[in-house]
């Protein structure tokens, strides 16, 4: 199992941050190279389903997910159900003083290919972490003004 957790402080109330991160139709505004389709229950609530696509043109990764926890405006947890990406992800929003929030994105991934997958993740982890960091900085700029 691979774990990756990144956070960013945002100049917006938790409800505004929640609205931004669960606005699946505009996910690409902050998540680079990614679009999301709502599959079941509009991608809202426990049991809702979405599918993210990260890539360029036809080349990329499809990531179907089922939402398992939905506690607005503080937590959304999902189960990754793709061929390559499997595991659990979570969005957490924490209230901070001064109408600010801390957004934390966590991933606990079941890596494919056993030891080879684990070694591969060691190599790609810094790039994946940097990618998430860039996306979170974009979110911090976009969420307060959306």
Place of tokens 């061929």: 83
pLDDT-above-70 percentage for the chain: 100
Domain that holds residue 110: 2-145
* Alpha-carbon distances of 73 from 14, 60, 70, 80, rounded to whole Å: 6, 30, 9, 21
Q: What is the pLDDT of residue 71?
A: 98
Q: What is the pLDDT of residue 92?
A: 98
pLDDT for 20 beyond 90: yes
Question: What is the band of 64 on the pLDDT scale with cuts at 50, 70, 90?
Answer: very high
Number of domains in the chain: 1
Q: What is the CATH number of the domain that holds 63?
A: 3.30.530.20
Q: What is the pLDDT of residue 114?
A: 86
Classify 61 as helix, strand or coil.
strand
Q: What is the pLDDT of residue 1?
A: 86
Report the alpha-carbon distance of residue 95 to residue 124 in Å, rounded: 32
Cβ pair 21, 91 in contact under 8 A? yes
């Amino acid at each position: 199992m691979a774990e990756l957790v990144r956070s960013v402080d945002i100049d917006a109330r938790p409800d505004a941050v929640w609205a931004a991160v669960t606005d699946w139709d505009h996910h690409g505004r902050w998540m680079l190279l990614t679009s999301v389709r709502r599959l079941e229950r509009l991608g809202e609530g426990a049991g809702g389903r979405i599918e993210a696509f990260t890539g360029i043109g036809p080349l990329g990764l499809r990531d179907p997910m089922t939402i398992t926890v939905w506690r607005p405006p503080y937590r959304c947890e999902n189960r990754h159900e793709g061929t390559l990406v499997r595991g659990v992800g979570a969005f957490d929003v924490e209230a901070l003083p001064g109408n600010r929030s801390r957004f934390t994105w966590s991933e606990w991934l079941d890596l494919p290919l056993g030891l080879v997958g684990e070694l591969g993740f060691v190599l790609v982890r810094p790039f994946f972490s940097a990618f998430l960091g860039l996306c979170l900085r974009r979110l911090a700029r976009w969420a307060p003004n959306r």
